[in-house]
Amino acid sequence: MMKTLLPGSLSATGQQITLGVMGGGQLGRMFVQAAQAMGYFTAVLDPDPASPAGLVSHFHIQTAYDDEQGLAQLMQRCEAITTEFENVPAGALFTLGAHRPVAPASACVAVAQDRVREKAHFVRSAPRSGVHPAPYAAIDTPELLAAVPGDLLPGILKTARLGYDGKGQVRVNDRAELAAAWESLHRVPCVLEKRLALRAECSVIVARGADGQCVSFPVQKNTHRDGILALTEAYPGAVDAALAAQAQRATEAIAAELNYVGVLCVEFFIVDDANGTPTLVVNEMAPRPHNSGHYTMDACDLSQFEAQVRALAGLPLPTPRQHSPAIMINLLGDLWYDAHSARPAAGDAPLSPPWAAVLALPGTHLHLYGKLSARRGRKIGHLTVTGPDVAAVRSTAAQALALLGLPGLDG
Ligand code: ADP
Ligand code: MG
């Protein structure tokens, strides 16, 4: 049972209440910062001495995620524990959960970290959620590979585990390519998904408390480039209002069906049904705050990270209200790449994105994650643009994109 951990109170042993997080990436960092803003102490478990969250946390336990001593230290330190990425070994969360409140629970993370179980959950939830996943087949034996229905091709072969930002995915057009792709993925368990003609993509963040109370954030429209989220647009009209409401209800049903506690993101495709009517297809879920929800930090009266803190601490979860239209631009390592790789000639100033010009635009909010090296495709930060109305936000975002040398809003 989850008890309320009031901000600013002391634990039974007279210590500051400490909230823990498994994983020290940018999502852990923003969780830590939200928890600290409310007066909690924080602890991060991540093996990387320079992890973005470890750098800003009160305590940083630098061990592997399944290190027994590391887990014991985390439990000793923390009154409650969450996770910032789904690839924490579910066994580690199970161990923690035996001794401390853990949200989301290991059973929920275990579903989200395996595409086969995740899709089965979507199918199971469909009577309540009203949405279905893309047609798919699980492949983990040569027999299942051979038995794949032909109408799943052209398709996308995705590893069941450990895929992110389009990694662990191969697009295949026919059976020969499918067989070669499975070989190239070392015959690990996979799902083959039918490739759909996407009109658009959107996602929903919900926060659900231990009492079953569930609130939705406004629905955002996502643009991916090379399998990585590039842009999120969050304002009335970015996603058709009826589809957005349906996506929120579906996400709440998917969370309820798991008895989920914490912040959950569900991604959807918008495709045309047989009659040419736009309709939702559920893609995948993340048992944590999500890149597409970062706009909530600057555009809503409750951020997805504060919601994660509240759900973990057993605090109330009022419905979030978006006060400004927003566009979030992901800042990938590519923006710094030349500075870090091309070795500028002696005397050349290192390249850096033109922050002074970007920040001179009204309503720009820069978030950098403290990563010490930029790599192509690595998420180094994000920029959220807010404004008084949709036209102003789109115009400012277009200027910011141009200054950063990124494709425009409709490009
Ligand atoms: P990841 O874990 O990398 O986010 P996703 O399954 O969300 O994996 O796939 C990444 C992106 O690839 C999606 O956001 C979408 O743009 C595209 N994609 C994935 N599956 C399909 C599909 N079945 N049909 C068409 N596009 C897809
Ligand atoms: Mg995805």
pLDDT in tens, 350-404: 578 999 999 999 999 999 999 877 788 899 999 999 999 999 999 999 999 999 9
Average pLDDT (331-337) is 88
Average pLDDT (81-103) is 93
- Which pair of tokens denotes residue 336? 């710094």
CB 54 within 8 A of CB 48: yes
Indicate which atom in ligand 1 lies nearest the CA of residue 267: 7
Q: What is the Cα–Cα distance from 177 to 20, expressed in whole angstroms?
A: 44
Q: Are strands 190-194 and 136-139 parallel, antiparallel or unpaired?
A: antiparallel
CB 203 within 8 A of CB 270: no
Give the Å distance between the CA of 24 and the centre of ligand 1: 25
- Within a 13 Å sphere around the CA of 288, how many CA atoms are in the beta-carbon half? 26
Per-residue pLDDT at 217: 98
Give the Å distance between the CA of 283 and the centre of ligand 1: 7
Give the Å distance between the CA of 227 and the centre of ligand 1: 7
Best mutation site among 114, 122, 156 for ligand 1 pocket (most ligand atoms within 8 Å of CB): 156
Indicate which atom in ligand 1 lies nearest the CA of residue 197: 25
Count, residues in the chain: 411
Best mutation site among 269, 270, 285 for ligand 1 pocket (most ligand atoms within 8 Å of CB): 269
Give the Å distance between the CA of 165 and the centre of ligand 2: 7
Per-residue pLDDT at 1: 54
Q: What is the Cα–Cα distance from 113 to 93, expressed in whole angstroms?
A: 13
What are the Cα distances from residue 165, in Å, to 126, 224, 230, 290, 386?
26, 9, 11, 12, 26
CB-CB neighbours of 342 under 10 Å: 10
Per-residue pLDDT at 340: 45
Higher-pLDDT residue of 8 and 207 is 207
The protein residue with its alpha carbon nearest to ligand 1, atom 11, reads: 227
Is residue 222 very low, low, confident or very high in pLDDT (cuts 50, 70, 90)? very high
Is residue 344 very low, low, confident or very high in pLDDT (cuts 50, 70, 90)? very low
pLDDT at 336 over 70: yes
Indicate which atom in ligand 1 lies nearest the CA of residue 224: 16
Q: What is the Cα–Cα distance from 243 to 270, expressed in whole angstroms?
A: 9
pLDDT at 345 over 50: no
Give the Å distance between the CA of 253 and the centre of ligand 2: 19
CB-CB neighbours of 197 under 10 Å: 7
Average pLDDT (60-77) is 97
Share of the chain above pLDDT 90, in %: 87
Per-residue pLDDT at 12: 85
pLDDT at 228 over 50: yes
The protein residue with its alpha carbon nearest to ligand 1, atom 23, reads: 195
Exposed/middle/buried for residue 321 (C-beta within 10 Å: 0-12, 13-18, 19+): exposed
Give the Å distance between the CA of 309 and the centre of ligand 1: 29
pLDDT at 50 over 60: yes
Residues in the ligand 1 pocket, defined by CB under 6 Å: 134, 156, 158, 163-166, 193, 195-196, 198, 201, 224, 227, 267, 283-284
pLDDT, one tens digit per residue, over 96-139 is 999 999 999 999 999 999 999 999 999 999 999 999 999 999 99
Average pLDDT (232-258) is 98
Higher-pLDDT residue of 339 and 235 is 235
